[in-house]
Amino acid sequence: MDVVVDGAARMGAVVGAAKIVVSGAGIDERLLAPLYGLGFQVVPVGRGEPLTAQALRHELADAVAYLHGGEEHVSEEALELAYGLKVIAFLGIGYETFIDVAAARRRGIIVTNTPERTPDAVAEFTIGQIINAGRRIPRHLGTVYPHWTDAGELPDELVSKKIGIVGLGQIGTRIATILSRGFGCRVSYYNRTRREDQERALGLRFRQLPELAEWSDVLVVMVGGNAETAGMIDHRILGRVRPGTILVNTARACVVDPEALRDALAAGLLGMAVFDGYYQDSSVAKDLLNDFGDRMYVTGHIASHTKQSMERMTRQAVASVVNLLNGRTDANIVVR
Amino acid sequence: MDVVVDGAARMGAVVGAAKIVVSGAGIDERLLAPLYGLGFQVVPVGRGEPLTAQALRHELADAVAYLHGGEEHVSEEALELAYGLKVIAFLGIGYETFIDVAAARRRGIIVTNTPERTPDAVAEFTIGQIINAGRRIPRHLGTVYPHWTDAGELPDELVSKKIGIVGLGQIGTRIATILSRGFGCRVSYYNRTRREDQERALGLRFRQLPELAEWSDVLVVMVGGNAETAGMIDHRILGRVRPGTILVNTARACVVDPEALRDALAAGLLGMAVFDGYYQDSSVAKDLLNDFGDRMYVTGHIASHTKQSMERMTRQAVASVVNLLNGRTDANIVVR
């Protein structure tokens, strides 16, 4: 436990029954011990469907801190009554998709995230889904004989495939490493800045995004979700892919434009589309699940949910909350 | 096309409307062109459920050759009327699970298999199922929010797991390579003969089978199916595993004793069991699918079914049939 736990006597104004809201079902309560130890009232919320703005507003009205480990959106409205809220500790990196940053800033609420995480949880999940999409394993579960209708339906081997990775950050690099060193795939990438070190180390090739889309059999999207990357995979990019391409988006859904996605699925340019975490406010995207359900593997933002990564994130978020409620600074502040 | 196609005029006795039976749904008919070209009558059978012995007996009664690419068992009874049958070309390696070798030998039927195959199809499928079983991905498909009920349910990262591989043949070695070099897992193995070359190259450790079972978080079974390996994973072995161990059997089902499997699932020693190809004659095993369905990922012997590997196997089997019907020898004879 690397959280510095001050004596309760030193907590001054915030000690007692001050309330800390904790959302998300994957948090091990034992890791919240430092908060209990300091005498806070720890209130878990939103373990099923994400909280509505109204429900969240109600919960935050008397809270001093908020560990965000769920899927709820922290809007202006949700923060309206949060007069005592000092810190939102976001579990994960991409807080901008979930928190109205301007609204938090206006209220003087500090936001932290948990940047120190290892890439394995998401990278391993992504590899699993690349294989699932390529081999259609879920469709065959529960069968005891092969159910091919003809040979044209047989899948390709991964080793024969060209993999394009959009975003060569920590996770993208881990995915590239596993595919290149482990499976022996040919891997190219696009990144805002070229990574010649990784090109040499892993035998990767840099391609501009439209060229990458055209080259790839499997296009893996792994960039942060923010204003700059929203809709980055649009008609211009998906119009370039070859028929049957597999799109694997284990980044934020919004990086892929939902209308471009629909058109590429309808035209057969995309053979399969994989998402972890789905559009929450797009009627086009909701229709896709009905129209192309057998060609979409959608999961609910679980790629980063492993014991190891949730523990790492929870420890960091708890440490940030303890630091900031004690009037200290914290290394993981992203909004103040 | 590396099949030597003799002129039809040279085919002598077997040319004309001589019949070749071809089973299995994954065979690309274009690869059968050499057989059509020689004037054979090519009859596809058994594309749905495996043929019964009676149905197969009927089909083989007037056949000269038989490409076995399906799931049917070639029993004594099935061969009873096959007076003209010269060759059974088995697609794959483990013909002994499917063909009554003694019965074939008594009738002077030559059996070939297709040993020259690359290990990628099965190895990639196995990796996919290791991730599926560890992360329970299929259970989350079609959800748009995480459905954890509590943190205890969160999965472990693969990189943190100890993987034991039973059988370090070509496929087992490929699986070990991907897990070790790609994912960075700790990998141990058991093999009839130690492979010190691979231990050095991949950083593997040899363990005797009971010790391997006890050590492993994931136990991967990848040995040939024959009289020697049938029931190899029995009560003695499964009694040693730690609670929650994942068993991945992409070899023949029979390598795992079904009663030992039942007891290990019932006791919680096995958290998940993965099979590709399932027991055809065990009532115990059939009950397992009802009793522990949510902890078993069963597929119908599809791991080796990729375009690339089916093409390779079909080409080899066709070449063997052409060779043997032409009175030449063949490199892939396993029974004569």
Q: Is the pLDDT of residue A16 over 70?
A: no
pLDDT band at A151 (very low <50, low <70, confident <90, very high): low
Q: What is the pLDDT of residues A246-267, one digit of tens each?
A: 999 999 999 999 999 999 999 9
Distances (CA, A) of A140 to A75, A137, B50, B125, B127: 42, 5, 17, 12, 16
pLDDT mean over A236-241: 98
How long, in residues, is chain A?
336
Q: What is the pLDDT of residues B102-143, one digit of tens each?
A: 999 999 999 999 987 789 999 999 999 999 999 999 999 988
* Rounded percentage of chain A residues whose pLDDT exceeds 70: 93
Higher pLDDT, A118 or B168: B168
CA–CA min distance A13, chain B (Å)? 32
Q: Is the pLDDT of residue A14 over 50?
A: no
**B residues 155-184 lying closer than 8 A (beta carbon) to A:** 155-160, 177-179, 181-183
User: What was the pLDDT predicted at A225?
Assistant: 81
Range B204-217 burial, b when 16+ CB lie within 10 A, else e: bebbebeebbbbbb
CB–CB contact A160 B309 (8 Å): no
Which amino acid would we find at residue A207?
A: R
DSSP code of A40? -
Closest to B225 (Cα-Cα) out of B108, B98, B85: B98
Q: Is the pLDDT of residue B313 over 60?
A: yes
CB of A307 within 8 Å of a chain B CB? The answer is: yes
Residues 6+ apart with CB under 8 A from A200: none
Secondary structure (DSSP) of B150-191: SGGGPPPPGGG-EEEEE--SHHHHHHHHIIIIII--EEEEE-
Strand positions, DSSP E, chain A: 19-23, 41-45, 63-68, 87-90, 110-112, 162-166, 186-190, 205-206, 218-221, 245-249, 270-276, 296-299, 333-335
CB of A295 within 8 Å of a chain B CB? The answer is: no
Strand positions, DSSP E, B27-154: 41-45, 63-68, 87-90, 110-112
pLDDT band at B12 (very low <50, low <70, confident <90, very high): very low
Q: Is the pLDDT of residue B152 over 80?
A: no
Pairing assessment for the beta strands B41-45 and B19-23 based on DSSP bridges: parallel
CB of A301 within 8 Å of a chain B CB? The answer is: yes
* Rounded percentage of chain B residues whose pLDDT exceeds 70: 93
B-chain CB neighbours of A305 within 8 Å are 146, 148, 154-155
Mutation site for B-interface testing, chosen from A27, A31, A157, A311 by largest number of B Cβ within 10 Å = A157
